[in-house]
């Protein structure tokens, strides 16, 4: 159970979720308006804020975060649910890769153990800044250059196998 302070929600979690939503969408070839991305990021961050307070087993928070992000992308951005799941999963993989490099680097550079960094509200905001900058730059470049992991001519199918009308292309 992780009790995140409100300051971390506002200054770390919400910006990080907006970055992850932008990155995930770009990786699957979707580039909706930023207003929808920001709305999606805020909803996912707030859900995560409350869900982390529940005493659940290892990994349940992560799986629920993927599901909530995909469902929110589907409802807010009218994105195909399967593509939303791919976007959420790919952004989580990117986060894990970048964190596996930046967190040890921050521990080495600052000499602050990770446990101490996450218990102090302001360190909890500052510690992940390098990771968020890297992910934001990646999202910006992918979005700006329209780089995607999925082919552009992939059919857009809904859960029923029929063509699905997507909004905000």
- Give pTM, 2 decimals: 0.85
Residue 54 in tokens: 């529940």
- Per-residue burial over 127-159, b = 16 or more CB atoms within 10 Å of its CB, e = otherwise: bbebbbebbbebbeebbeeeebeeeeeeeeeee
136 occurs within a structural domain = yes
Q: Can you give the pLDDT at residue 56? A: 79
Question: Measured between alpha carbons, how far is residue 28 from residues 24, 101, 107, 152 in Å?
Answer: 7, 24, 33, 9
| Residue 166 per-residue DSSP state | P
The tally of domains found in the chain comes to 1
**Distance from the Cα of residue 66 to its chain's centroid:** 8
Closest CA to 80 of 30, 152, 18: 30
Q: Give CA angle at 30 (13, 152), nearest 5°.
A: 150
59 occurs within a structural domain = yes
With contact defined as beta carbons under 8 Å apart, do 102 and 128 qualify?
yes
31 occurs within a structural domain = yes
Q: Which domain holds residue 20?
A: 6-100+130-145
168 occurs within a structural domain = no
**What tens-digit pLDDT sequence spans the chain (169 residues)?**
567 777 788 898 999 999 999 999 999 999 999 999 999 999 999 998 888 888 877 788 889 999 999 999 999 999 999 999 999 999 999 999 999 999 999 999 999 998 888 888 888 888 899 999 999 999 999 999 999 988 765 555 444 445 545 554 4
167 occurs within a structural domain = no
Find where tokens 């934001």 sit: 136
């Amino acid at each position: 159970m992780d009790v995140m302070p409100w300051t971390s929600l506002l200054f770390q979690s919400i910006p990080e979720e907006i970055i992850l939503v932008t990155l995930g969408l770009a990786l699957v070839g979707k580039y909706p308006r930023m207003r929808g991305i920001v709305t999606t990021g805020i909803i996912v961050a707030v859900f995560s804020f409350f869900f982390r307070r529940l005493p659940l087993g290892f990994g349940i928070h992560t799986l629920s975060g993927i599901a909530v992000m995909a469902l929110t992308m589907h409802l807010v951005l009218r994105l195909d649910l399967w593509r939303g799941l791919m976007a959420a999963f790919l952004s989580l993989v990117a986060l894990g890769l970048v964190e596996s490099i930046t967190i040890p680097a921050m521990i080495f550079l600052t000499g602050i153990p990770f446990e101490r960094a996450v218990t102090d509200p302001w360190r909890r905001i500052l510690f992940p800044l390098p990771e968020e900058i890297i992910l934001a730059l990646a999202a910006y470049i992918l979005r700006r250059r329209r780089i995607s992991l999925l082919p552009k001519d992939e059919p857009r199918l809904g859960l029923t196998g029929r063509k699905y009308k997507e909004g905000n292309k």
